[in-house]
Amino acid sequence: MSTPPTLRGAARRSDPGLLLAAGTVGVSLLALMAIVFVLAQQTVRAFAPVPVAELRWRGDGAERTLLAAVVREDARGLIVRGSEWQRRGADYRRIARADLVSLDWPGDATTLRLRDGREIHLRTTATSASDLHAALLAQAPAGFAAGADDVIEVVAPNRASVLQSAGIALARSWHFVAGTSQTGGGVFPALVGTVVLVLLMSVLVMPLGVLLALWLHEYAGTSRSARVLRAAMANLAGVPAVIYGLFGLVLFVNGIGGGLDALLAHGTPRWGGGGVLWAALTLALLTLPVVVIATEEGLGRVPDALRQGALALGATRAETIWRVVLPVARPALLTALILAVARAAGEVAPLMLVGAVKYAPALPLDGEFPFLHLSRPFMHLGQSVYDLALAGGDAPRDMAQAHAAALLLLVVVVGLNAAAIVVRNRLRERARELAV
């Protein structure tokens, strides 16, 4: 006697395993939403205009006055950033609330952003470039030099409306994504390097991973060599990424790259100095176990009846694999690609050993023949996050921009994975239609 559908549904709803799985998925989604929220909040802080105040406070037995951007305000006092006449991030100070005499928000306060990332705060109503430059030089201390072309942004933060502030933040965000400045933003080279590296890694790892999975599942079976290789893949999947970086440095950069430089008699290291090819090969080795395991599991879900039917119709084993097994297993191949991209896109430690640099003079992909320059060092969004968070000269602004770079990296990874997921779902729908 079969169980009624209503009772079966009630049993599923009360299944502890199902409830545990649903709870785990919910916690994972909440954690992802929390990460995105924190990154987005810090990104807004990185690019939103900061209000400028005129402060008077008592310090060292005298009353002082300063025009500065109010970075943070709490119960103890204020953290402000004055005009950066000498260098970026040089004039942060904390003013205790007990020492504060007055705090005004002048409407004519103007912030000038220079090409090198410094910000200068002035009180002026000038609007033309020449008048602003004249006001800048009039209020600058001795030794300061800047031309009118050095001023790249003029903002009156205290007079800006909500829409104007949003426009300023969007413009700064675009400059951060599309710019190439190494001071205060510009991660376009790192964005290009990340995308090129991930695509090149995918091209290298997928054929090798699929071939190994085919040999394991279709030919080796449960032989001793297959068991040894499966155990090796399972162990390699848990090796720390930095170990792969050291391996790539010794084998690819110093070994193969150094040998190519010696063979081609290059005066300066070209292949032996690290580059996008060696980084892609290193990441290919890093993600190879993931591709092999996921692909073999997908091959195992292909019904044996399809193989037997193709062989019964006279197809060879190679034709059966190429024309029957692989087309049916294509969604599994794309799943393996998604897992490989997710594993490789955020890796930083191995890349720093095999070609990723803080600043690259040229992109690995450009309009100059041969267009894709495999021997060039490259920039990576993951390393940009590291540099901004730990090695920048202006901690408050650099940390906020590190969150912005991390959010951009997350968008790149999600975008690449989403494209693969869309293709995989379409292939699954096509397979279902053919099955019907």
Q: Where are the domains of the chain?
A: 52-160, 188-435
Quick one: which of 69, 63, 34, 75 has its CA closest to 50?
A: 69
pLDDT at 432 over 70: no
Please, which pLDDT band fits residue 105 given cuts at 50, 70 and 90? very high
Least confident window among 4-13, 134-143, 332-341: 4-13
User: Model pTM?
Assistant: 0.84
CA distance 355 to 61: 54
Q: What is the mean pLDDT of residues 118-135?
A: 84
pLDDT at 421 over 60: yes
Length of the chain: 436
CA distance 272 to 255: 8
pLDDT of residue 204: 94
CB-CB contact of 292 with 259 (8 Å): no
pLDDT at 431 over 70: no
Which pLDDT tens digit goes with each residue over 361-394? 888 888 888 888 888 889 999 888 888 888 767 7
pLDDT of residue 11: 52
pLDDT at 246 over 80: yes
Which pLDDT tens digit goes with each residue over 20-33? 888 888 898 898 89
User: Between residues 11 and 160, which one has the greater pLDDT?
Assistant: 160
Q: What is the mean pLDDT of residues 289-313?
A: 89
Count Cα neighbours of 153 within 13 Å in the Cβ-side half-sphere: 22
CA distance 210 to 208: 6
CATH number of 188-435: 1.10.3720.10
Mean pLDDT of all residues in the chain?
A: 85
- The helix (run of H) or strand (run of E) holding residue 194 is helix 188-214
The residues, any chain, with a CB within 8 Å of residue 374's CB and separated by 6 or more, are 275, 276, 277, 364
Q: Angle at CA 212, nearest 5°, toward 296 and 292?
A: 45
Q: How many CB atoms lie within 10 A of CB 333?
A: 22
pLDDT of residue 183: 47
pLDDT of residue 7: 46
Q: Write the Ramachandran bin of 54: left for phi over 0, alpha for psi from -120 to 50, otherwise beta.
A: beta
Which pLDDT tens digit goes with each residue over 141-200? 887 877 778 888 888 999 988 999 999 999 989 988 887 755 456 889 999 999 999 999
Q: Is 283 exposed, middle or buried (CB count within 10 Å of its CB: 0-12, 13-18, 19+)? A: buried
Give me the amino acid identity at 234: A
Least confident window among 186-200, 262-276, 321-335: 262-276
Least confident window among 231-240, 266-275, 328-337: 266-275
Please, which pLDDT band fits residue 13 given cuts at 50, 70 and 90? low
Provide the angle, in degrees to the nearest 10, between the axes of the packed helices 188-214 and 276-300.
40
Please, which pLDDT band fits residue 250 given cuts at 50, 70 and 90? very high
CB-CB contact of 276 with 364 (8 Å): yes
The strand pair at 92-96 and 100-104 is best described as unpaired
Q: What is the mean pLDDT of residues 346-364?
A: 86
Q: What is the mean pLDDT of residues 333-361?
A: 87
pLDDT of residue 277: 93
Which pLDDT tens digit goes with each residue over 399-411? 888 899 999 998 8
pLDDT at 135 over 90: no
pLDDT of residue 12: 55
CB-CB contact of 230 with 306 (8 Å): no
